Amino acid sequence: NNMTKHNFSAGPCILPKEVFEKAAQAVLNFNYSGLSILEISHRSKDFVAVMEEARALALELLGLENKGYQALFLHGGASLEFLMVPYNLMKVDGKAAYLDTGTWASGAIKEAKHFGETLVLASSKSENYNFIPKDYIVPADADYLHCTSNNTIFGTQMKSFPKTNIPMVCDMSSDIFSRSIDFSQFDLIYAGAQKNMGPAGVTLVVVKEEILGKTGREIPNMLNFQQHIAKESMYNTPPVFAIYTSLLTLQWLKANGGISAIEKINEQKAQLLYTEIDRNPLFKGTAVVEDRSNMNATFVLTDESLTEKFDAMWKAAGISGLTGHRSVGGYRASMYNALPIESVQVLVDVMQELETSVQ
Ligand code: PMP
């Protein structure tokens, strides 16, 4: 069907149209080589150049070049980082500190417990994770602090980060490259690609090299960040196509002004939608206002009997991926970098039509 789609999917999600076009072209004929990107060696000159550019561009966009950081493109999703982080950073007989701000944060905590003492400094679980806890003390003797910058399922986002002298680790899967923050306050950042960076199948890890190699643990090669750094992110065959498509997305972001430019548009999109959620008596946001995410807006109908009608209306408008996660219910509008503001306007129009239709 040729109708314009407005894709609010939480991830995998919309990517820029030109990225889809260039990726499709590379499947047929990569760099005019007469070969598909899917059939060349990852050690070929053409692919090594892709890997090098992707690693460098990720650091450049985050403002982390020449600051002792390395960018890696790994397999296993953000979920594998839940255990690679403690494996590489928690000392034998050490301890780690975590903020429990959602399903993914609590998944990271579960994995850390396999490695040692795991302190949960604060949790918003009792309120179904509808806010970001702010009152806690970071222990100075923990090996690291782990936080989740954006809680994809519950629609909350950390607007500021604790100041601490211990290494800071952040799961940025659902808001990396979407807003300007001082990324150098973190010692390790990881993100599954499948929101703002590219297709599923690759994970970006940005790590300050000096924090590695201090645990006293034997780490299997595949799970050892130092091994991946030594092999220039090619310890084994990398997910070639996912990395190439991520590079295309990062190039698109750079050509469009980088993070500071996209941040302004992301703020406009979020403001457009939240203004309507707050104005329209038929809708109610589920996250506490000050912690609301600019990436994932979660909301419910105030009158559930309108569900069928509203669902039919947004589907008829070409909107897709709006159904909320089962643990929150209602709706979730994910407004990642590549989603145009016009799509948000279409959603707002439908919300207003619903209001008019019941008057
Ligand atoms: N962390 C966050 C914040 C996420 O949103 C997700 C997935 N949506 C994950 C971790 C898990 O990522 P993956 O599926 O790549 O393992």
Q: Identify which of 85, 182, 191 has the alpha carbon closest to the alpha carbon of residue 142.
A: 85
Distance of alpha carbon 204 from alpha carbon 71, whole angstroms: 7
User: Does residue 295 share a domain with residue 271?
Assistant: yes
Do 250 and 266 share a structural domain? no
Q: What is the ipTM of this complex?
A: 0.99
Q: Are 234 and 329 found together in one domain?
A: no
Task: Quote the crossing angle between the two packed helices 103-112 and 77-89, to the nearest 10°.
Answer: 40
Contacts (Cβ under 8 Å, ≥6 apart) of 312: none
pLDDT at 151: 98
Question: Beta strand pairing status for 117-123 and 69-74?
Answer: unpaired
Q: Give the domain CATH number at 171.
A: 3.40.640.10
**Ligand 1 mean position to 49 CA, how many Å?**
28
Q: Would you say residue 4 lies in a domain?
A: no
Known binder of ligand: residue 79?
yes
Neighbours of 147 (CB within 10 A): 22
Neighbours of 125 (CB within 10 A): 15
Beta-carbon contacts of 311 under 8 Å, excluding residues fewer than 6 positions away, are: none
Token digits of residue 7: 């894709």
Q: Cα of 103 to ligand 1 centre, how many Å? A: 9
Q: Is residue 311 among the annotated active site residues?
A: no
Residue type (1 letter), 243: I
The pLDDT assigned to 89 comes to: 98
Q: How remote is the CA of residue 267 from the centroid of ligand 1, in Å? A: 23
Instruction: Look at residue 156 in the predicted model and tell me its pLDDT.
Output: 98
Token couple for 342: 């016009």
Same domain, 290 and 244: no
Boundaries of domain holding 297: 259-358
Which tokens hold the place of 260?
């500071």
Of the candidates 231, 255, 279, which is a domain's last residue?
255
Residue 297: predicted pLDDT = 98
- 252 catalytic? Reply is no
Regarding whether 209 and 301 lie in a shared domain, the answer is: no
- Tell me if 5 is assigned to some domain: no
Kindly state whether residue 137 falls inside one of the protein's structural domains: yes
Distance 79 CA to ligand 1 centre (A): 6
In a domain, 76, yes or no: yes
Please tell me whether residues 350 and 226 are part of one structural domain: no
Sign of the alpha-carbon dihedral angle for 174, 177, 180, 183: positive
b/e 49-65 (16+ beta carbons within 10 angstroms → b): ebbeebbebbbbbbebe
pLDDT reported for residue 3: 83
The pair of three-digit structure tokens given for residue 119, joined into one six-digit string: 């302190």
Give the total number of structural domains in the chain.
2
104 is catalytic: yes
Integer Cα distance of 257 and 88 in angstroms = 35
Atom of ligand 1 nearest to the CA of 193: 15
User: Residue 106 burial by CB count (10 A; 0-12/13-18/19+): exposed, middle or buried?
Assistant: middle
| Cα 91 to Cα 231: distance, rounded to the nearest angstrom | 24
The pLDDT value recorded for residue 359 is 86
* Residue 4, annotated as binding a ligand: no
Listed residue (344, 337, 302) closest to 16, CA to CA: 337
pLDDT value of residue 1 = 67
Q: Choose the residue to mutate in 147, 152, 177, 195 for probing ligand 1, maximizing ligand atoms within 8 Å of C-beta.
A: 152
Instruction: Tell me the H-state helices in 76-230.
Output: 77-89, 103-112, 225-230
Which entry of 143, 175, 187, 195 is annotated as an active-site residue? 195
Residue 105 CB neighbours (<10 A): 23
User: Ligand 1 — pocket residues by CB below 6 A?
Assistant: 11, 77-79, 104, 148, 152, 171, 173-174, 192
**Mean pLDDT of each 10-residue bin along the chain, 359 residues long:** 90 97 98 96 97 98 98 98 98 98 98 98 98 97 98 98 97 98 98 97 98 97 98 98 98 98 98 98 98 98 97 98 95 98 98 96
